[in-house]
Structure 1
Amino acid sequence: MSPRLTDLEDLDRTDPALRAWVAERVRRLDADARRSADTHLLRLELPADWGIDVYLKDESTHVTGSLKHRLARSLFLYALVNGWLRPGMPVIEASSGSTAVSEAHVARMLDVPFVAVVPRSTSARKIALIEAQGGTCHLVDRADEMTSESQRLADECGGLFLDQFTYAERATDWRGNNNIARSILEQLALEPHPVPRWVVVGAGTGGTSATIGRYLRYHRLPTGLCVADVENSAFFEGWRTGDRTVTTDTGSRIEGIGRPRVEPSFLPDIVDRMVRVPDAASITGARFLSARMDRRVGASTGTNLVAVARLVQEMRSRGETGSIVTLLCDSGDRYASTYYDDDWVTAQGFDLAPWDAVLHEALPLPGR
């Protein structure tokens, strides 16, 4: 008997309603990206005769107030196009900070429930920010329980654990879509040094450094990628030793960056240089830049600035000219009761004065 195509085993799971639902949510994400246009690239004034230009990519102007808005949009888009997210499915994330705030906003935009798994010690202000964006907070006793509890909760309620620390490096298309690296290079096009000598970022998930590092290599640019790490974080030691199993006993005091383990999204082989920045220096950096700009920035931006100051100092000592770009990650208004509270700083045992002197010497105003 001759074979017939109609005899082939066939299973068709086409679901037009589901495809339409996904398509509509992808459209909403694209529309959000278009509305937000792009964030500004700010220039930090330095003596003109140095021939060194420093720029800050101001991610605090996103509607949810931080760099994490890009990540949230990318993670939800990744889940949608992979077929993981379906109508009515709760989305779970392990985050008590800016990522949860941004993801709650995006989830509400897509009409899906969102739950942030946060430590019981999380401040009422942070919980209020997440809830204001439409999210719900699920409390755990310790920070190291967040990931496992997120997965358990997702399994229990038939939800999706978004898992920023695993998927951050792959959710953002490093060749184009929603790419902060492309935006930086386009905005530098008419500047005196359009191809930067360095790009400086911190590491929380590792997704931003992965995106920028890949983009620089893809476009065959000589720009170096420098990652600024903080105290109580495993990234620096893991990068130095090549050991991805490195852990620390306590968490980072600089919100948004630093992790007690080397997260899966951190790609050490594309990082050219790392600088470990003391917490006192990070807080001083935030205050220093806030005074210079007449607006508050978060301490993770201070971490970046200290690493930038180190690179500027080295370029000057070698007689090099060029540009350095870093990120202004979020507003300092969220940290009025911590990094900008003198009593809190004193209680933590931080001495900011020595670092303030260092930064004023390394990054003086023109004519000083």
Structure 2
Amino acid sequence: MEHTAHASPSAPPSWLHNAIARIEADYQRSADTHLFPLPMPAFAQHGIDFYLKDESTHPSGSLKHRLARSLFLYALCNGWLHEQSTVVEASSGSTAVSEAYFARLLGLPFVAVMPRSTSAEKIALIEFYGGRCHFVDSAGEVYDAARKVANETGGHYMDQFTYAERATDWRGNNNIAESMFSQMQRERHPVPSWIVVGAGTGGTSATIGRYVRFQRHATQLCVADPAGSVFAPYHRTGDVTMTAPGSRIEGIGRPRVEPSFIRTLVDRMEEIADVDSIAAMRALSAMLGRRVGPSTGTNFVAMLRLACEMRDAGQQGSILSLLCDSGERYLPTYFNDEWVTRCMGECSTAGERMQMLIA
């Protein structure tokens, strides 16, 4: 696939070596994210345990910190970035925040191409890290717009939607899957029955799915897909030409099939209505005493569905998912009753269902 890169093959290795060293030093300063048990007495009595890996504690505040670090190292080692590069990314927000963090670390200008509907909090964070935002009207427009900006600036389009599944070493090397299984070693059910993730690029599901197979674990991988996303119907049909309206849950779901989403690595898709995602986000926030983002709510709905099936089938085991980012990024939107009612409908019935499952 073509990419927009203007790095010189004869770029001084000293800058490249220094750039890689800065990213590696930043990684060395960062501790791994916590994996914590989620108290769910109604399921624990049946031998079913819940866990969340808290990715909100990364320096740039979300799961996408891992992806951004991998994408920068991949681009640097491929010779696509140099010391005059403008870094450009198509993103709904969190990846752009994390890439802006790493661009600032290397002293490179950064442009995020994103829908106008992206939360103001994410926009502010991108600008805090020195990035610039280029807005388009819909999620489907970000790809061509990002290529255009990269061409106009003589920069490099990072293209997370193509490179996410290959930029991370899925065999190990401290990736998220290896971290999960290492942290689970002393739990009651150390090998999870299910790992639940969302998909925006598909990079996280690809890394976990490959690692599980490589290590010969019995764990199954479930992708929780929000309403309006193309991934669930694509998983059913295999039709790569499919399109969909797009998701209203920021950070996951897409209007088109992305190259980094590898359907053969996913054992099961769970399609989640928006009102259920929001109700679960709020219920989980109340349980934890801290706000979580809407994609974490989507994951939580899928976890509950799987747990109910396991309980009804008399199965025991653990279910593990991700706390993707903090809910503080979504105060004017997903945590605002008026905004939710206007954009997604009434959530009270969904909330009541959620409380019945949790109790």
State the TM-score, normalizing by the size of structure 1.
Answer: 0.92
Residue 319 of structure 2 corresponds to 324
- The structure that has the greater radius of gyration is 1
- Report if the CA contact (8 A) 1:172-1:178 is conserved: no
RMSD in angstroms over aligned alpha carbons?
1.6
Which runs of 5 or more residues in structure 2 are unaligned? 1-7
Q: Secondary structure at the match of 2:189?
A: coil
Residue of structure 1 in register with 2:5 after alignment? none
- Give the secondary-structure state (helix, strand or coil) at the position aligned to 1:55: strand
* SS of corresponding position for 2:45: helix
The Cα offsets for residues 24-43 of structure 1, whole Å up to 9 and x where unpaired, read as 11111112222222100011
- Corresponding letter in the other structure for 1:252: S
Match of 1:137 among 119, 133, 140: 133
Query: What is aligned with 2:281?
Result: 286
2:219 aligned with 1:219, yes or no? no
SS state at 2:135 partner: strand
Aligned to 2:357: 362
Q: Report the secondary structure of 1:285's partner residue.
A: helix
Distance 1:144 1:216 in 2: 32
For 1:35, the aligned partner's letter is R
Seen in structure 2, the aligned counterparts of structure 1 residues 178 and 19 have a Cα distance that, compared at 3 Å, is farther
* Residues 87/178 of structure 1: CA separation in 2 closer, same or farther (3 Å cut): farther
Name the aligned partner's letter for residue 158 of structure 1: G
The aligned residue for residue 314 of structure 1 is 309
Runs of 4+ more than 6 Å apart: none
Label 1:233 to 1:14 Cα distance change in 2 as closer, same or farther (>3 A).
closer
The counterpart of 1:185, out of the listed 167, 170, 181, is 181
1:228-307 alignment to 2 at 5 Å? Answer: 228-248=224-244, 250-307=245-302
* Residue 34 of structure 1: aligned partner: 28
1:351 aligns with 2:346: yes
> Structure 2: how far apart are the matches of 1:77 and 1:131?
22
Q: Is the 8 A contact 1:312 1:362 kept in 2?
A: no
SS in 1 for 2:89: strand
Q: Give the match for residue 155 of structure 2.
A: 159
Provide the residue aligned with 1:210 in structure 2: 206
For 1:22, the equivalent position in structure 2 comes to 16
CA contact (8 A) 2:274 2:344 kept: no
Cα deviation digits, residues 29-58 of structure 1 (max 9, x gap):
112222222100011112242211110000
- The separation in 1 between residues aligned to 2:172 and 2:186, in whole angstroms, is 20
DSSP-derived class of the 1:309 partner: helix
Deviations 1:194-234 (A, max 9, x none): 10000000010000000000000000111000000011100
Work out which of the residue numbers 52, 70, 85 in structure 1 matches 2:81.
85
User: How many residues align structurally?
Assistant: 350
**What's 1:10 paired with?**
none
1:50 is paired with a residue whose SS is coil
Deviates more, 1:151-160 or 1:291-300: 151-160
Following TM superposition, by how much is the alpha carbon of 1:350 offset from its aligned partner in structure 2, in angstroms? 2.2
**Which of the numbers 338, 341, 366 marks the counterpart of 2:336?**
341
Q: Is 1:43 aligned with 2:40?
A: no
Shift of 1:351: 2.6
Equivalent in the alignment of 2:3:
none
Q: Note the alpha carbon deviations across 1:6-41, whole angstroms, 9 max, x for none.
A: xxxxxxx995x7222112111111122222221000
Equivalent position amino acid for 1:29 in 2 = I
Deviation of 1:358 (Å): 2.5
Displacement of 1:113 in angstroms is 1.2
Q: Which of 62, 66, 72 matches 2:62?
A: 66
1:137 to partner: Cα distance: 1.4
Q: Aligned in 2, Cα 1:176/1:296: closer, same or farther, shift over 3 Å?
A: same
SS of alignment partner, residue 29 of structure 2? helix
Q: Please state whether the residue corresponding to 1:348 is helix, strand or coil.
A: helix
Q: Which whole-Å CA distance do the structure 1 matches of 2:120 and 2:192 have between them?
A: 41
Q: 1:156: Cα distance to partner?
A: 2.5
> Aligned partners of 2:315, 2:9: CA distance in 1, in Å?
60
- After superposition, residues 84-163 of structure 1 pair within 5 angstroms as 84-163=80-159
Report 1:8-19 matches (<5 A): 15=10, 18-19=12-13
| Counterparts of 1:91 and 1:234, CA distance in 2 | 28
- In structure 2, the CA distance between the partners of 1:124 and 1:292, relative to structure 1 (3 Å rule), is closer
Tell me the distance in 1 between the aligned counterparts of 2:309 and 2:9: 60
Equivalent position amino acid for 2:273 in 1:
P
Task: Report the CA distance shift for 1:320/1:141 in structure 2 as closer, same or farther (over 3 A).
Answer: closer
For 1:60, give the aligned amino acid.
S
